[in-house]
Amino acid sequence: MVIVIGNEKGGSGKTTTAMHLVTALLRMGFRVGTLDLDVRQQSFSRYLRNRRRMCQEMDIALPMPKHPQFRPFGNDPFPLVNAIGALSAATDFVVIDCPGSENILVRTAHAHADVVITPINDSFLDLDVIADLNGKGRCDGPGVYAEMVKGQRRKRLESRRLGQDWVIVRNRLSHIGDKNKQNLADKLDQLCGVLEFRVTPGLSERVVFRQMFLAGVTVLDLDEPCFGVADSKSHRAATAEVCHLVRAIHLPEVDQRLALLEHTPGRRAPALRNEAEGIGSPPFRLPPLVTERFASPAAHASQ
């Protein structure tokens, strides 16, 4: 199954969502292949590189996807088609992270997607690439990104008789129920029938989501004993949010496995090498703010 994380708007949370989805799938025991189509910034590849490096330095074994370095060849879509084919044959899920722009590779990936996941920031500016709204909020047609999704979907249906599920994920949700949040929810509800997508709440605005890149970890990894992160309300809430998002995508065989992950994320992971061997590993220090956030009850109140 091919899952594409896309949105032409940069900074909407594609890479963050991709990393969390991939980690969740790996921790549920699925085989996962990944591709980074942001060939310039390569944030997804670099996130995974940081994860691999941290594992080596700490002598631990966090679950890793199969991540071939994808090198495009001009405007030729076939290297991508081949890479998707090879990964699909070897894994249960292929997760593709797209750049915040449109090109032949992005279109090709969308045409191969069984599921398209589109994180958007909770702002009407971000909604503009999904729907062309007039001053009164009436939809005059699809936005540029929705137009592209629609085109690739049609192509996929006509050439291969395959459908596609499109899930819009509201990212960086505020913790308070402000008017903008409600207006956006109402507008997305109105648009989903017209533009044929589903909407699900994604990740809240949390400092922790901005702090884990250098360590290459996600909130689903922080329960590993080597990180020494104290259990906390905030940690559990962030974990629950990720699990809720993964469940809402409705992937096959996920529900039962997710129930296990939700309760004790780290413990259910493929065992850490040191833990399995009964050797105490030196505690890994996450960037200080992460630890503070999770450890300090005062900090939780502000989350």
Ligand X SMILES: Nc1ncnc2c1ncn2[C@@H]1O[C@H](COP(=O)(O)OP(=O)(O)O)[C@@H](O)[C@H]1O
Name the residue with tokens 């702090």: 211
The dihedrals phi and psi of 262, each to the nearest 5 degrees, come to: -60, -35
Q: Cβ 278 to Mg ion, closest distance in Å?
A: 39
* 170 scored as a contact of ligand X (CB under 6 A): no
Q: Which is nearer to Mg ion, 5 or 229 (CB)?
A: 5
Nearer to ligand X, 100 or 143 (CB): 100
Q: From the CB of 42, what's the least distance to Mg ion, in Å?
A: 9
Q: How far is CA 167 from CA 82, 84, 150, in A?
A: 25, 21, 13
Residue span binding ligand X (CB under 6 A) among the ranges 5-13, 131-139, 151-159, 189-197: 5-13
Residue 15 is a binding residue for ligand X (CB under 6 A): yes
Q: Angle, nearest 10°, between helix axes 144-160 and 104-111?
A: 50
How far from the centroid of its chain's Cα atoms is residue 172's Cα?
13
What 3-state DSSP class applies to 85?
helix
Is 42 among the residues that bind ligand X (CB under 6 A)?
Answer: no
- Amino acid symbol at 228: G
Cβ at position 153, least distance to Mg ion in Å = 22
Instruction: Give the helix ranges, DSSP H, for 112-178.
Output: 124-127, 144-160
- For β-strands 165-171 and 2-5, DSSP reports them as unpaired
Residue type at 170 in one-letter notation: R
Q: Interface mask (CB under 5 A) for Mg ion, residues 19-48, using x and -? A: ------------------------x-----
14 near Mg ion (CB under 5 A): yes
Q: Considering CB distances under 5 to 8 angstroms, the limit depending on partner class, which of Mg ion, ligand X, none binds residue 23? A: none
Q: Binding pattern to ligand X, positions 190-229, x when CB under 6 A?
A: -------------x-xx--xx-------------------
Rounded distance between C-alpha atoms, residue 25 and residue 30, angstroms: 6
Q: Is 102 in the site for ligand X (CB under 6 A)?
A: no
Please identify, among the stretches 12-20, 67-75, 82-90, 126-134, the one whose residues bind ligand X according to the rule CB under 6 A.
Answer: 12-20
CB atoms within 10 A of CB 181: 16
* Least gap, CB of 18 to ligand X (angstroms): 8
Task: Kindly state whether residue 14 participates in binding ligand X, applying the rule CB under 6 A.
Answer: yes
CB 50 to ligand X: min, Å: 13
**121 three-state secondary structure:** strand
Residue type, 219: V
Please report, as ranges, the residues that interact with Mg ion according to CB under 5 A: 14-15, 43
